[in-house]
Amino acid sequence: MAEKVIRIGIMSREDYKQRTIAIAKGQYVPKSDEPKIWFESLQSMAQVLNNENQRVLQLIMDEHPQSLKELEVLTGRSSSNLSRTLKTMVHFGIVELEKKNRRIVPKVKASDFRVEFGIRRQVQ
């Protein structure tokens, strides 16, 4: 797997909403190097990329489990807990769940993360 860096931005929900509207109206064009994934706060990002979830990502990269059941055994996590975590990571583009021979195989799409945020408004 090629290492892929995901750029993460931190922006309040209100600022993100204003940014999205400005983009839709053509008033703002995002730069190619801007984050593609946005969290509302450092805390919300930390919930997704906590130590336990980082361990799951590392196990997927190191052990290459060929099913969610195999990943459950490797992590010791319940299927419902692991499934919820993986769906969240899929939503943020961190993990991909590939269907192979009636099994779901987890793949890590990004191994490195860059976080960007500022305290002044991003979009006027």
CATH number reported for the structural domain that contains residue 106 in this entry: 1.10.10.10
Residue 12 belongs to a domain: yes
- The tokens describing 45, both together, are 């990002």
Query: Percentage of the chain surpassing pLDDT 90?
Result: 77
Q: What's the pTM value of the predicted model, to 2 decimals?
A: 0.82
When pLDDT is averaged across residues 56-84 and rounded to a whole number, the result is: 95
Query: Which residues constitute the domain of residue 77?
Result: 5-116
Residue 122 belongs to a domain: no
Phi-psi region of 108 (alpha: psi -120 to 50; beta: other; left: phi over 0): beta
Residue 121 belongs to a domain: no
Interval 25-48: pLDDT, tens: 999 999 998 998 899 999 999 999
Residue 80 belongs to a domain: yes
Which residues on adjacent β-strands are paired with residue 112?
Answer: 5
Residue 123 belongs to a domain: no
Residue 124: its pLDDT value, please? 47
Residue 110: its pLDDT value, please? 87
Residue 123: its pLDDT value, please? 52
DSSP secondary structure letter of residue 32:
T
- The tokens describing 55, both together, are 């361990």
Domain count, the chain: 1
